[in-house]
Structure 1
Amino acid sequence: MLRSARSAPGAPVPQRFRHIVWAGVMGLALASPLTALAQGKVYVSSEKDNKIHVFDAKGERLSVIDTCERPRHMMFNATRSQIYVCCGDSNQLGVVDTATGKMTGTVPLGDSPEIFDLSPDGRTAYVSIEDENVMAAYDLATKKPLFEVKTGGEPEGVLVTADGRFAYVTSEVANVVHVIDLGQKKVVKNIKVGKRPRRFVLAEGGAELWVTNELDATVSVVNTKDHSVKATVKFAVKGMREADITPVGMTLSPDGKTMWVGLGKANHVVEVDVATKKAGRQVLVGKRAWGLTLHPDGKTLYVTNGLSDDMTLVDTASAKAVKTVAVGRVPHSVLVQP
């Protein structure tokens, strides 16, 4: 039976087999964005579960790591052997061993820590302490506080310069970016930006500081040489009110040419051309898209959706969402370990 069904080379495929061939081709086409994903692990902090959920690069669940209470912002150490996770309810910085998948220690922090960055040598954590309106510095080896600098109300984003001399800190209430001299331990300049500034990314080799402004649907682009605002990127989503476009998280492509921005309650992410400052393609993801990061190969964008309790995987070449996976209650941040 099978032999008699075969066709000679170049002959038309018999009608009764065409649907099988077509289904196979379509299956390969639909699977290709995921099957092409590189190897690695993806870590997602879940605020309400007190856990970090671990996936492979294709979004398949691997394991769960117990953490301190209300895990939010995360960072790798320089070798990616550890994850530091800021826990807002237990006022701690958790230390996770990536090899064992266990939390191995904590550093006591101030009241309601938000976002942090590490010194270039990895020895000091600079943390925004929301309820105390300060940026505080902590020695990670001794687990002791070093100093704190007073900020405007509700400090959030923290970014330390590559030379370790300065830190940028957003104040959500004052609508400014503080420039803090870490040697002098004081604010040396305030940069007026948009309403409710949240997060930072450096672009153009460190010449530009991009700042998301949650309550006016914009990103401010700051010249890091003179601290002037050189450009403002305005976002619009068809069918959405401006009040529902709430940018928070950003991530820069490996080639430095594209900035991806999460638009929060607008449930989209958008790509922005770094050179022209023009917004381009938009991708529908989950509810309240805030946290996002790219795989180091730049092919996949991982987006945490805080109100739909899931993560969307976006193929950056086609600007299409290719998979959504459940990640626990109120996912916050996402990291990729290649």
Structure 2
Amino acid sequence: MKIKFLLGLLFISQISCVTAAEFAYVTNEKDDNISVIDLQKQQVIKKISVGRRPRGIIFNHDQSLAYICASDSDRIQILDLNTEAIVGELPSGEDPETIALHPNGKTIYTSNEDDAILTVIDIASSLVIAQIEVGVEPEGLAVSPDGSLVVVTSETTNMVHWIDTKTNKIIANTLVGARPRSAQFTRDNQHLWVSSEIGGAVVVIDVASKKIIKEFNFKIRGIHRDRVQPVGIELSRDGHYAFVALGPANHVAVINRESMEIENYLLVGRRVWQLALNQDQSQLLTTNGISGDVSIIDVNKMKVTKSIKVGRYPWGVAIKHINDK
């Protein structure tokens, strides 16, 4: 009995030595760098120089590399997250803005706003394998969880273009509100959420039929409707919430995905743009372009708990989760 007790204590002590660290990587458009935020300390711990006008940022599957849209350098840069050095570049076409990774981890998609194309890149060979003509000013990108579809929103054409990832051909188009920005698939592959910046709305599209089944319009007391401009969308992993950045309205809308009702509006920094949830979904980070900071929202309390200064015009954000023993 005593031996079992001691073994139990040893097991517990080993568990207690495991701590989770998280770091948010924030692209700063005007500073040509990335601010790294330690989420435990809730402060910027370093800045990493990258190409000109960094915007979209994503990680590979094991979070060892970051892919960064250096828009004015006309490149996607590859950042080694361990050495914090740029270790490669991918040909992206002109002015890459947003970026998405196929579930197979081998293919990257990026939107080229000025050329009205979607560029498809093979990571291993660093070669462009397709360039697909889409609507005017392509912006938001998303790949379906099953990897069969990639969608791109076109700001001027006001459409969502549905592309078969096997053939790299457009198979359908869905008309949405004015200046569509972000697109996010649900984890079950059933629905696509799309924001329309000038239209002031978010729609939910049925993936099977490619038709809109729900529209959300946002009204914030004391704020003119022209300032309510939905951009970034983040869907919680548990299927309960959708968070929508409302741009110059300086708020994040909280939507209950079970009741499909808007529950709350949270005041954040100026011109909130993109969003990211941490690993356990307890914190939501927002990039606030005009105020040059990141807001941290406690998801359980639905309250902003911290504002962290980063750089000039923060745009994208991605969060790395590390288990240390």
TM-score by length of 1: 0.87
Do the aligned residues in 2 keep the contact of 1:117 with 1:160 (CA within 8 Å)? yes
1:146 equivalent to 2:129? Answer yes
The amino acid of 1:231's aligned partner reads K
Between the two structures, name the one with larger relative contact order (CA 8 Å, sep ≥ 6).
2
Q: How does 1:268-283 map to 2 (within 5 A)?
A: 268-283=251-266
1:129 equivalent to 2:112? Answer yes
**RMSD between aligned alpha carbons?**
1.4
Percent identity of equivalent pairs: 35
CA deviations over 1:10-53 (Å, ceiling 9, x no partner): xxxxxxxxxxxxxxxxxxxxxxxxxxx96311110101111111
Q: How does 1:1-338 map to 2 (within 5 A)?
A: 39-58=21-40, 59-203=42-186, 205-338=188-321
Q: Distance between the aligned counterparts of 2:237 and 2:163, measured in 1?
A: 28
For the pair shown, the structure with the greater C-alpha radius of gyration is 1
The structure carrying a bigger strand percent of its residues is 2
Q: Distance between the aligned counterparts of 1:126 and 1:106, measured in 2?
A: 14
Q: Distance between the aligned counterparts of 1:333 and 1:277, measured in 2?
A: 27
CA deviations over 1:78-100 (Å, ceiling 9, x no partner): 00011101111001101111111
Q: Distance between the aligned counterparts of 2:88 and 2:32, measured in 1?
A: 15
In structure 1, list runs of 5 or more residues that go unmatched: 1-36
Do the aligned residues in 2 keep the contact of 1:254 with 1:297 (CA within 8 Å)? no
Q: Distance between the aligned counterparts of 1:38 and 1:274, measured in 2?
A: 29
In structure 2, list runs of 5 or more residues that go unmatched: 1-18
Shift of 1:62: 1.3
Shift of 1:291: 1.0
The amino acid of 1:126's aligned partner reads Y
Do the aligned residues in 2 keep the contact of 1:38 with 1:57 (CA within 8 Å)? no
The amino acid of 1:319's aligned partner reads M
Q: Bigger CA drift: 154-163 or 263-272?
A: 154-163
Q: Distance between the aligned counterparts of 2:149 and 2:251, measured in 1?
A: 33
Do the aligned residues in 2 keep the contact of 1:65 with 1:103 (CA within 8 Å)? no
Shift of 1:204: 5.9
CA deviations over 1:233-257 (Å, ceiling 9, x no partner): 1111111111100110111123121
The amino acid of 1:81's aligned partner reads S
Do the aligned residues in 1 keep the contact of 2:25 with 2:36 (CA within 8 Å)? yes
Say how many residue pairs are matched: 302
